[in-house]
Amino acid sequence: MSLLSLVFSTVTAILTVWVGIVFLGIINLIFLHRPTRYVHDRRQPAHKPSAQILVLGDIGRSPRMQYHALSIAKHGGDVQLIGYHESALLPALTGHEKVKVHGLGVPEPFIKKLPFPIAAPLKIFQQLGQLLSALLYATEPAEWLIVQNPPSIPTLVVAWLVCSLRNSRLLIDWHNYGWTILAGTRGRNDIFVKVSKVYECILGRLAPSANLTVTHAMKNDLLGPPYNIKSPIQTMHDRPAEIFKPIRNRSERQAFLQNIEVTADFADAILSGNVRLLVSSTSWTPDEDFSILLDALVEYATSSKYAPLLVIITGRGPQKAMYEARISNLTAGGRLTNITIKTAFLSFQDYANLLAAADLGICLHMSSSGVDLPMKVVDMFGAGLPVLAYSDYPSFSELVKVGENGSGFETSAQLSEGLLRLLDPDSGGQELAKLKQGAVKESARRWDVEWDNVVKPLLGFK
């Protein structure tokens, strides 16, 4: 063993023991100062369940959890939304009398710069303190605690403890698996990944009163090994919020294009069809390989037959600067002729308008588990926008119907072929128009209807 490895192992062991001691101290403190407990008022003729909704991430970038909050509030339930308050919330949530937002402090910047074996325990320790303080003392007890998974560490164990102490029921909303996301960067044989998997399986089996999944495939996965979950599981497919709507006419599209900064200079050309507008959304993380899109655009640029493109990529995240540098190099090298790529971070309203005004959506989401689905495609369909989406995972067909509302690809060559086919000035218009009709039809399937059918009775609304 090298000296460096020995130092890392020693420091990691010390930190782990230290965190364990501190955690036991926190537990002891909790039992000395027990939090208030939820008491159900059975005298109410029309039951309106209350909920704490926990997002161990940026609430503004967690649309599904915001939609849960809004749906509960619409039906008269009180909601406490807990998480990092970095981005703007849905306009309908802002100032809602039934919704209170409790912001968590973001992790200390220096922690991110440390090696993973050191950074992970420190980050978990900080999150433990914040979560326990917020969920046990800074907020009122609620009938339900609804948590987003992932992240599972330390969310699930904290949620189990909080529900035990405050007499709340736990609803886990499974978006994906934390251990498969970690495996994407560290490999499935990594010790941290193995521990994370065991942790997630055990807590998923023991903790919840009920579960939601985003796909039928995920529900079936959780019912079998290694999860073997026995508590009720319902599939709640993602559906778009009311803010995502298809465009109604040419003048509305013109207004959208002119009022969004990144499209304003191209509005007339897009309306005339001389420039085609493509949109992709990303969190700029390794589970979306944007080199696939860039390589496909380089291939598209080799043909002078096709209309110029304006490609808008929205979002922010750790790999944004890296890809912006590559885009600049490709542009400077003349490899993106007649293609303009812009990156942006938009408000919810501008993003919804951009999707409605675009010609085609691109999704590069690669499922780490094979059983989740990208919310961004749901939003695109809500806006009546057909998609080209990465398709190499089992649950893909639960959302995208090839030939009806979109098409799939697995390689840059296949994406390039899809772009050339759909944007062909001689023959592509008919197929793209058909996919557009399918996307508009899909937009009629809305969140409120799905939520009222699945989640409303699960929570006990009367």
Question: How far is Cα 200 from Cα 212, in angstroms, rounded to an integer?
Answer: 15
Distance in angstroms (rounded) separating the CA atoms of residues 291 and 287:
12
Q: In what order do the strands lie in the sheet with 406-409?
A: 339-344, 309-314, 276-281, 360-363, 387-390, 406-409
Closest to 91 in 3D by CA, of 73, 68, 70: 70
What is this structure's pTM?
A: 0.85
Do residue 224 and residue 347 come from a single domain? no
Contact (Cβ atoms closer than 8 angstroms) between residue 280 and residue 364: yes
The C-alpha atoms of residue 235 and residue 264 are separated, in whole angstroms, by 40
DSSP, res 238: -
Residue with tokens 């893909």: 396
Distance of alpha carbon 112 from alpha carbon 228, whole angstroms: 34
How is residue 8 written in tokens?
Answer: 């890392």
Where does residue 334 rank: exposed (0-12), middle (13-18), buried (19+ CB within 10 A)?
A: exposed
Strand ranges, E, within 26-109:
51-58, 79-84, 99-103
The pLDDT value given to residue 16: 59
**For residue 57, pLDDT beyond 70:** yes
Domain shared by 286 and 433, yes or no: yes
Is residue 23 a part of any domain in this protein?
no
Asked if the bond preceding 374 is cis, omega within 30° of 0, the reply is no
> What distance in Å separates the CA atoms of residue 22 and residue 30, rounded to the nearest whole number?
12
Tokens of 64: 């599904």
Residue 42: the pLDDT is 60
Verify that 440 and 452 share a domain, yes or no: no
Residue 175 tokens read as 């978006």
Over the stretch 194-242, which tens digit does the pLDDT of each residue have?
999 999 999 999 988 999 999 999 999 999 999 999 999 999 999 998 8
Would you state the pLDDT for residue 429? 82
Together in a domain, 225 and 82: yes
121 within 8 A of 148, measured Cβ to Cβ = no
Q: Are residues 224 and 112 in the same domain?
A: yes
The tokens describing 284, both together, are: 């700029």
Question: Is the same domain home to 224 and 256?
Answer: no
Distance, first Cα to last Cα, the chain: 63
Reported as a single tens digit per residue, the pLDDT across 242-284 is 899 999 899 999 999 999 999 999 999 999 999 999 999 998 9
- Average confidence score pLDDT of the chain: 90
pLDDT at 108 over 90: no
Mean pLDDT, to the nearest integer, of 114-121? 69
Residue with tokens 């000035």: 425
At 416-461, the pLDDT tens digits run 999 999 999 887 689 999 999 999 999 999 999 999 999 999 999 9
pLDDT value of residue 405: 97
Residue 391 has pLDDT above 90, yes or no: yes
Residue 425 and residue 295 share a domain = yes
Q: How far is CA 164 from CA 134, 136, 168, 203, 204, in A?
A: 15, 11, 7, 13, 15
Tens digit of pLDDT for each residue in 282-316? 989 888 899 999 999 999 999 888 999 999 999 98
- Unique residue bearing structure tokens 């339900």: 144
Percent of the residues in the chain that have a pLDDT greater than 90, as a whole number: 73
pLDDT in tens, 70-103: 999 999 999 999 999 988 898 899 889 999 999 9
Tell whether 281 is covered by a domain.
Answer: yes
Asked if 432 and 422 count as a contact pair (C-beta separation under 8 A), the reply is: yes
pLDDT of residue 292: 97
pLDDT tens digits along 317-371: 899 999 999 999 999 999 999 999 999 999 889 999 999 999 999 999 998 999 9
Residues 171 and 260 in one domain: no
Q: What is the CATH number of the domain that holds 197?
A: 3.40.50.2000
My answer on whether 283 and 400 are in the same domain is: yes
CB 317 within 8 A of CB 284: yes
* CB 277 within 8 Å of CB 357: yes
- Which tokens is 382 given? 């809500």
pLDDT band at 20 (very low <50, low <70, confident <90, very high): low
How does DSSP assign 367-399, residue by residue?
-SSSS---HHHHHHHHTT--EEEE--SGGGGGT
Quickly state the pLDDT bin for 396 (edges 50, 70, 90).
very high
Span 403-412, average pLDDT: 97
Determine which helix (DSSP H) or strand (DSSP E) holds 441, and give its type and residue range.
Answer: helix 428-442
Q: How many CB atoms lie within 10 A of CB 76?
A: 13
pLDDT for residue 4 is more than 60: no
pLDDT over threshold 80, residue 33: no
DSSP helix/strand/coil, 253: helix
Q: Could you give the CA distance from residue 56 to residue 76 in angstroms, rounded to a whole number?
A: 25
Q: Residue 25 — pLDDT band, cuts 50, 70, 90?
A: low
24 within some domain: no
Q: DSSP assignment of 298-317, as one string?
A: HHHTT-TTSPPEEEEEE---
> CA 129, CA 105: separation in Å to the nearest integer?
11
* 27 is a domain residue: no
Whether 304 maps to a domain, the answer reads yes
Instruction: Give the per-residue pLDDT at 128.
Output: 83
In whole angstroms, give the CA distance from residue 64 to residue 50: 18
Per-residue pLDDT band for 106 (boundaries 50, 70, 90) equals confident
One domain, residues 360 and 454: no
Give the distance, in angstroms, between the CA of residue 225 and the centroid of all CA atoms in the same chain.
25
| DSSP one-letter string for 3-18 | HHHHHHHHHHHHHHHH
DSSP string over 102-166: EEPPPPPHHHHTS-HHHHHHHHHHHHHHHHHHIIIIIS---SEEEEEES--TTHHHHHHHHHHHH
Residues 289 and 391 grouped into a single domain = yes
Range of the domain at 126: 48-239+448-459
Count structural domains, the chain.
2
Say yes or no: 387 and 264 in one domain. Answer: yes
Q: Is residue 43 part of a domain?
A: no
**Number of residues in the chain:** 462
Residue 441 lies in a domain: yes
**Is 42 contained in some domain?**
no
